[in-house]
């Protein structure tokens, strides 16, 4: 009968009534601990890197070097990977690398490096090549085409 249904024991909890004095069970500070910034309303957490007014670490540590905002970051594939995955006469480009699973992260372009050996004739169309990779593809009878970024 719907009029006799009750919530299970422990399901209904009284709301926390704060600011009602020491005998309320929540004490003088109303569950906010001691004084200071974290005891104030709306300021429970200062911004990331804030050290209480002390000079923060990212400003204390000396800055060195240079970060080039125009640098091109290449996703790298080795010649040995092409030897392992591709068949004779196939075309190697960005789409086929993605399809075969050799590349999962794509940056600004794809670069072929010359690590390993290549004995198959392949048509390679990528954004950049190392000198050794280019010579290995051409010595195997394949062709190399440099695509613009």
pLDDT in tens, 22-37: 998 898 888 888 888 7
CATH of domain 74-146: 3.100.10.10
**pLDDT value for 80:** 92
- Cα 7 to Cα 18: distance, rounded to the nearest angstrom: 26
**Average model confidence (pLDDT) across the chain:** 90
Q: What is the pLDDT of residues 44-67, one digit of tens each?
A: 678 888 888 899 999 999 999 998
List the chain domain ranges: 16-63, 74-146
Which DSSP helix (H) or strand (E) runs through 80?
helix 79-85
């Amino acid at each position: 009968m719907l009029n006799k249904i009750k919530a299970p024991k422990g399901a209904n909890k009284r709301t926390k009534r704060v600011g009602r004095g020491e005998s309320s069970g929540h004490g003088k500070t109303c569950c906010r601990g001691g004084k200071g910034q974290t005891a104030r309303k709306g300021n429970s957490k200062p911004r990331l890197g804030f050290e209480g007014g002390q000079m923060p670490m990212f400003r204390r540590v000396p800055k060195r070097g240079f970060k080039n905002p125009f640098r091109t970051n290449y996703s790298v594939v080795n010649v040995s990977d092409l030897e392992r995955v591709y068949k004779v006469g196939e075309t190697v480009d960005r789409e086929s690398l993605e399809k075969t699973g050799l590349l999962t992260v794509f940056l600004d372009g794809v670069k072929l490096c010359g690590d390993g050996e290549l004995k198959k004739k392949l048509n390679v169309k990528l954004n950049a090549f190392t000198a050794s990779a280019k010579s290995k593809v051409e010595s195997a009878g394949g062709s190399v085409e440099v695509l613009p970024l």
